[in-house]
Amino acid sequence: MSDKKMQEAFADFERIHQLAKRAAARIARTLDLPPWLEFEDLVQEGLRIACEAVNRWDPNRARFSTYLFLHLDTFLRRAVQRQLPTRFECPLSEKDLDLLECKEDSFHNLELDDTVHTLMIRLKEEAPIAFEVIIRFFGLEGQQMQSLSSIERHMRLRRGEGKQLLNEGLSRLRQILQEELGYPN
């Protein structure tokens, strides 16, 4: 991993720390943790996991905080469950843990799909033309993926207007998501 990639990932360290604290709080609420395992230990483990996650992160697909938000709970839960002594939990084999993680991932994917669906409905109501450009560009809702020039031709848009609408739509989706998650803009 390059130093540049690590610096880019942790440019907003406060945000990463906040994500680690939130994930730790969710884990503390949902798992029966031993009394000696302190909240700050969970936060530190979350930050350690964030450092490892930089290797799997693709900066061209999403910001690091977005990638981490989508995966930190699963990674942290897995790390905690594997490190706890068996007297504090029912012992699970590697196969059982993998199955549990698969079910968690499936649930998480359903939750993510529902969130994206909700965001897209709002975008369709607020910016129907930008919504249509996004649907065509990414090949959603049964559409074939199309280039921006093809979208501009089919929708009778001016040259460059497709890219502008795509960017505006994605920006609005980001704002809606931040509103839904309660993050400041």
What confidence category does residue 37 fall into, taking pLDDT thresholds of 50, 70 and 90? confident
Average pLDDT, the chain: 79
pLDDT at 142 exceeding the cut of 70: yes
pLDDT reported for residue 23: 86
pLDDT reported for residue 140: 83
pLDDT reported for residue 96: 55
pLDDT reported for residue 95: 60
Q: Per residue in 58-93, pLDDT tens?
A: 888 878 888 787 778 888 888 777 766 544 444 555
Q: Per residue in 163-176, pLDDT tens?
A: 999 999 999 988 88
pLDDT reported for residue 126: 93
Helix H, strand E, coil C: the string for the chain is CCHHHHHHHCCCHHHHHHHHHHHHHHHHHHCCCCCCCCHHHHHHHHHHHHHHHCCCCCCCCCCHHHHHHHHHHHHHHHHHHHHCCHHHCCCCCHHHHHHHHHHHHHHHHHHHHHHHHHHHHHHHHHCHHHHHHHHHHHCCCCCCCCCHHHHHHHCCCCCCHHHHHHHHHHHHHHHHHHHHHCCCC
- Is residue 24 exposed (0-12), middle (13-18) or buried (19+ Cβ within 10 Å)? buried
Mean pLDDT, residues 39-46 taken together = 86
